[in-house]
Amino acid sequence: MSNLITKTTELAMAVTLKYIEQGDTVIDATCGTGQDTVSLAVAVGKEGTVYAFDIQKKALLLTEARLRAHGFSNVRIIPESFVSMRSHIAGGSAAAVVFNLGYLPGGDHSITTTAETTLEGLKCALDTIRPGGIVTVVLYDGHEEGSAEKKQVLEWAESLDTKKYHAAYVSLLNQQNNPPEILWITRKH
Ligand SMILES: C[S@@+](CC[C@H](N)C(=O)[O-])C[C@H]1O[C@@H](n2cnc3c(N)ncnc32)[C@H](O)[C@@H]1O
């Protein structure tokens, strides 16, 4: 087994996969290069569905190409902001919603998630997950927008109703160059 705490993106996905079964519906809110989309597509299997959102053409093309290379047919790519997820997926039906915030690696850094849209998207995600489902957020505070976004997202998560949700936050404490951090929110049964 790889050392999971050294790579937060892998840790974020490893925990998320524990909440997903074959046949489930899940959402990749920011598909980017399609790496997370593929992990989710494997987890839900042929009978399940992944809804993959992104607002950037380059990201959508990268994800399409990666899915084609793997031969997946259980992913619906939606060229829209994640704030529209409620109009595509029934409330209370998804096992997981994954947000990997920030900008596309190697892409245009001006096309990034923002505090305002991310908070709106997270509220949509809480409406969309089923009881026992999870919302996973990978946060980056190494850039200006990401720093403001992280602060607001964590403040919001701290204020969630304790009767309905568990929220957990992971940060690598002794590493350099602002490694990504993780927020998980699970919905109580
Ligand atoms: C860090 S990348 C995602 C990486 C991806 N999970 C992967 O496995 O490669 C962030 C992505 O969020 C996208 N994005 C920014 N704002 C968005 C929004 N409102 N809705 C959906 N995607 C958005 C960007 O275009 C970018 O591709």
Residue range 84-99, pLDDT digits in tens? 999 999 999 999 999 9
Q: Give yes or no for residue 35 CB within 6 A of ligand 1.
A: yes
Q: Give yes or no for residue 13 CB within 6 A of ligand 1.
A: no
pTM of the predicted structure, to 2 decimals: 0.97
pLDDT band of residue 2 (cuts 50, 70, 90) is confident
Residue range 44-83, pLDDT digits in tens? 999 999 999 999 999 999 999 999 999 999 999 999 999 9
Residue-averaged pLDDT of the chain: 96
Q: Who's near 25: CB < 8 A, 6+ residues apart?
A: 44, 48, 49, 51, 89, 93, 94, 95
- The closest-lying atom of ligand 1 relative to the alpha carbon of residue 36 is 8
All structural domains of the chain, each given as residue ranges with its CATH number in brackets, are 4-187 (3.40.50.150)
CA of 42 to the centre of ligand 1 (A): 20
Whether 1 has a pLDDT exceeding 90, the answer reads no
